[in-house]
Structure 1
Amino acid sequence: MFDRPLWSLRLRLAGTLMVLLLVATGVLAAVGWAIFVVTSAVSASGSPLEVATSRSLAGGTVVLAAGLSLLAHGRYGYRQTLESVDANPVEDGDPHGLRERVRRFALAAGVEEPAVAVADTDEPTSFTVSNGTDATVVVTTGALEALSDAELEAVLAHEVAHLANRDATVATVAATIGSISDGLFARERRLGEWIRFLLTIGSVTIVLALVAIPIVVLSALYLVVSVLARTVLAINAISVGVHARAREYAADRAGAELVGDPAALAAALETLDDVGPPDEDARRRSHASATLGIVPYALGEPTDSDPLEGSSLSRWIPDADSELDRAEFVALLSRVFGRLGRALEWRPATHPPVEKRIERLREYADEIDGK
């Protein structure tokens, strides 16, 4: 019989939801503040009971709105992730038998059969996205070409295991929160480009007076967007860090149980890790397809306008390896600024090391052989 996930994973998922709910509540603090202003006006003439009732209603409204925003993120994230990777539903013509295999695993796991889609990209990976009512298992053409039949079977079992473990919806919401920070970084970069442009033309004294006010306004917006981007990124790091590694370990074990061959899933992970892009940019791993994937590969090629490009703020900070001056003090400052620059590019780890996952699967295989 298929085992349900450990209580530790469920507690981690509940903790992730709590973090996201607290964050959404904080985002809606402005609404609460506005309501508080109104209730303060009432307090001048209202009774203590009326004041308490008004404030309780205000707090309840903010929490309810926060919960609704999480639901909206789940719906939006599900649709947006599938659109961003151009996932095509598998309907007529299924040479790899994806739908039949997923149907069989879903029946064995006791979950509703998800849709199956294929993303036409060379990155070899797969992921499961869900909004709580609908779910889709996505496999890339790169994975279909790289995996053997037994390895593909094990990968599909791993994806269905995410649905059985009930972590796909929480992970989808968390990944969507992460994509918000990417959009903010893109806006930060554009603002930085405008500021540099205005500073360049402002180097001519006669023009400086004309661009001084726009520079100040854009600099203020730049600071606000930078703070928001890094705040959202930190929130994403916390929410992903609470459950991400545990959910992959749990899906590996449950998937191996579903397919009945832990060695096949270990071989699949090794294959995907070996044939994947060697220079995968860590910054792109915050993309939903990477966060949700069986391995952290972001789908698609980055472009100049890609929101997953690096932070423009880091460009203002010297790299630690640059030789600005041989003076010890300047060299020390260079190292400090270099570390700060790299910190600005930091992204949270979303997966355990593949070697650790393979080691655990092999241990599980030894357990089965020893019975």
Structure 2
Amino acid sequence: MNAMKRPGLRAVMATVGLALLVAYAGAASLAYWALATLWATRPDPTTTLTIVAVAVIGFGYLSYAFGTRRLLAQLDAAPIARERAPDLYERVDALCESMDVALPDLYVGRMAAPNAFALGGVGDGAVVLDRSLFRFLTTSEIEAILAHELAHLESHDSLVQTLAFSIGQTLTGILSVVLFPAVLLTTGLARAWAWTAGRPGAWAETPFGTLRRALDGVIALGLVALTLAVNAHSRSREFAADDRAADVTGDPLALARALRKIERASEPGWSVLSPLYIHSDDEDENPIREWFSTHPSLDERVERLRERAEDGDDGVRVRIE
């Protein structure tokens, strides 16, 4: 029999709904009191901003540093000794001399597919190369890859993006905390409404449930906006690193050839958060997926490099013959 037609059961459900409302309202009041107390005892704005900035940057940098070590361990990355690869170091030395970057640590690792990436912070940083790259890339193409990665180190791209994401997450977290009392209260109202109506499982469909979803959407929108902004910056830095590599090597087509070879050697659907990640043609068919990509399409990168070569803009040539 429908709960609405049984006065006794309906009264019990209404009582449960009222109890839920009281519980959620009490929790919301407690959360609001805690926030109000924190706001009332806050230091002056300058001190507050300084504390928040130091904490965010500090935690962001520590997260990046520990993440770097963990990634190197996952890839079984081993340092490349200078005596075992003198030609490689000679090329890197020449590139570093032409760029505003100190000699990084060089590693060789085992990746799921041929690739390379740079890890750099305030220090000298590191460049990790997959072992397979040395089998199918020419020396000029390896040099172009190294110049691309050194360009990321020169601009501290990885660290900047990590810190930017950390700051964005902090702001989103602050928004979540500020909205927490309202989330609790609307949840309590939605559940009380649903129990009183005899449909406790449908609380999300009530007007207050809709409001609760709207509050969740505000937080989710902040995270999406943060992701889109960071990824857009990442794509722009890929173009900048390509341009910088073309400038210092004087051979844009070497990097274009290297990218194409890596694309052919990569497994379909493979991806890694690295400056040389290959953006497939399938991804280009979906503009939304492209917005969330950390790297621009390979075709666009190669076309830009070819245009540079056709324009005859050789930059500063540091190739070691």
TM range (shorter): 0.5 to 0.7
Query: Which residue pairs with 1:128 in the alignment?
Result: 118
Query: Which residue pairs with 1:137 in the alignment?
Result: 127
From 101, 111, 114, the equivalent of 2:101 is 111
Structure 2 residue ranges without an equivalent (≥5): 1-32, 169-215, 280-287, 316-321
Structure 1 residue ranges without an equivalent (≥5): 1-32, 43-50, 179-225, 298-342
Structure 1 counterpart SS, 2:84: coil
**1:87 Cα offset (Å):** 1.5
Give, in whole Å, the separation in 2 of the partners of 1:146 and 1:242.
Answer: 31
Cα deviation 1:155-198 (Å, max 9, x = unaligned):
111111222334242245568999xxxxxxxxxxxxxxxxxxxx
8 Å CA contact 2:119–2:153 kept in 1: the answer is no
Identity of aligned residues (%): 30
8 Å CA contact 2:231–2:291 kept in 1: the answer is no
Structure 2 counterpart SS, 1:277: coil
Distance 1:258 1:244, change over 3 A: same
Query: Which residue pairs with 1:264 in the alignment?
Result: 254
1:27-46 superposed matches below 5 A: 37-38=37-38, 40=40
From 265, 290, 304, the equivalent of 1:360 is 304
Residue 244, structure 1, aligned to residue 234, structure 2: yes
Distance 1:120 1:64, change over 3 A: closer
**1:255 Cα offset (Å):** 0.4
Structure 1 counterpart SS, 2:98: helix
Distance 1:39 1:123, change over 3 A: closer
Give, in whole Å, the separation in 2 of the partners of 1:38 and 1:356.
Answer: 50
Structure 2 counterpart SS, 1:133: coil
From 246, 254, 260, the equivalent of 2:244 is 254
**1:79 Cα offset (Å):** 2.2
Distance 1:96 1:234, change over 3 A: farther
Task: Give the number of aligned pairs.
Answer: 233
**1:104 Cα offset (Å):** 1.4
Query: Which residue pairs with 2:277 in the alignment?
Result: 295
Give, in whole Å, the separation in 2 of the partners of 1:84 and 1:231.
Answer: 33
Give, in whole Å, the separation in 2 of the partners of 1:274 and 1:174.
Answer: 33
From 230, 234, 258, the equivalent of 2:224 is 234
**1:236 Cα offset (Å):** 5.8
8 Å CA contact 1:157–1:255 kept in 2: the answer is yes
Cα deviation 1:110-169 (Å, max 9, x = unaligned):
321111100123511111011222300110012222212221111111111222334242
Give, in whole Å, the separation in 2 of the partners of 1:235 and 1:86.
Answer: 35
Structure with bigger gyration radius:
2
Distance 1:38 1:236, change over 3 A: closer
**1:246 Cα offset (Å):** 1.0
Distance 1:278 1:370, change over 3 A: closer
TM-score, length of structure 1 as denominator length:
0.53
Query: Which residue pairs with 1:320 in the alignment?
Result: none
**1:37 Cα offset (Å):** 1.4
**1:61 Cα offset (Å):** 2.6
